[in-house]
Amino acid sequence: MSACFGRMGGATLVSKDYFLTLNINIALLIIVIFATQKIMGTKVKPYQTEGSKKEQVQQMFDNIAHRYDFLNRFLSMGIDIGWRKKAIKMLAEHKPKRILDVATGTGDFAIATLAIDPEEVIGIDISEGMLDVGRKKIIDQGIKKIRLENGDSENLQFEDASFDAVIVAFGVRNFENLEKGLAEIKRVLKPGGVAMILEFSKPTGLFGVIFSIYNKTLLPLWGKLFSGDNAAYKYLPESVAAFPEGDEFKDIMKGLSYNKVADRRLTFGICSIYTGLK
């Protein structure tokens, strides 16, 4: 900063470079805010082809399943593991014995619950490709308490009031019908049971600008290179931008009569943990 300032006759002069840098930063901020506003509330699908969001999401995760775990670790620099751990630590307060992990994917959130010693964990997902990777992990690690099944969040194959906790990590953003999925989660929870949802949110301030630029440039580039799916890691930031976060998401949960709805922002707001009781 000192290079940008000079002193002349007791008055501080600010150099042209400083104003140029400031103007570029403000312009970038306006572009990011404008792009985010434009996309918010729209239904974002992975591919520019026919087919429902659900069909396209399933196809996309089948395509990238073989690289999903690697890309998660690589693109988040391992921070995603800490987010799941933090959520499970919060879940421990509720002492859940029977847990449903919706949109379980390759099973990482389900596996993380073993730290709090549940009796039974069921993971469901619409992508057989993701489930296959998860099942292999469970067998390789000799895990007996977790079962992974094909299932749709918007039409859960379980009785009313059958779980102490329902958890979802980075899944709700992909639902075709968010409210239907959240209503189904509440239906299968026991009275007093907890819904815990981990989802990306949008960091604000200068970090938000840097993060948004990373999301629009490096993230799709690495994603395309390693997963072989051109659209998947372009869809990720677009679906985050379109997703209702913070108070807006909590209002949806409250509208479905969840009690004690709360959220906690992690890592400058890149990720949020939402909780609500039945």
Ligand X SMILES: C[S@@+](CC[C@H](N)C(=O)[O-])C[C@H]1O[C@@H](n2cnc3c(N)ncnc32)[C@H](O)[C@@H]1O
Other beta carbons less than 10 A from residue 178's beta carbon: 17
Stretch that binds ligand X, among 5-13, 24-32, 42-50, 165-173 (CB under 6 A): 165-173
Nearer to ligand X, 69 or 263 (CB): 69
Interface with ligand X, residue 182, by CB under 6 A: no
- Of 45, 87, 96, 125, the residue at the interface with ligand X (CB under 6 A) is 125
Query: Integer distance in angstroms from the first to the last C-alpha of the chain?
Result: 53
- Judged by CB under 6 A, which of 46, 96, 118, 171 binds ligand X? 171
Q: Does 153 bind ligand X (CB under 6 A)?
A: yes
Nearer to ligand X, 111 or 209 (CB): 111
Can you tell me which residue has the tokens 């913070």?
A: 246
With H, G, I as helix, E, B as strand and everything else as coil, classify residue 48: coil
Site for ligand X in 44-103 (CB under 6 A): 54, 57-58, 61, 103
Coil/strand/helix, residue 68: helix
- C-alpha span between 83 and 85 (Å, rounded): 5
Q: Is 233 in the site for ligand X (CB under 6 A)?
A: no
Q: Does 170 bind ligand X (CB under 6 A)?
A: yes
When asked if residue 245 is in the footprint of ligand X (CB under 6 A), the reply is no
Q: Which residue is nearest to ligand X (CB)?
A: 105
CA distance linking residue 259 with residue 191, whole number of Å: 11
- In the DSSP assignment, the letter for residue 119 is S
> Quick one: tokens of 236?
């990720």
Report how many helices (DSSP H) and strands (DSSP E) the chain contains, helices first.
10, 9
Binding flag, residue 219, ligand X (CB under 6 A): no
Positions in the binding site for ligand X (CB under 6 A): 54, 57-58, 61, 103-105, 108-109, 124-127, 130, 152-154, 169-171, 174-175
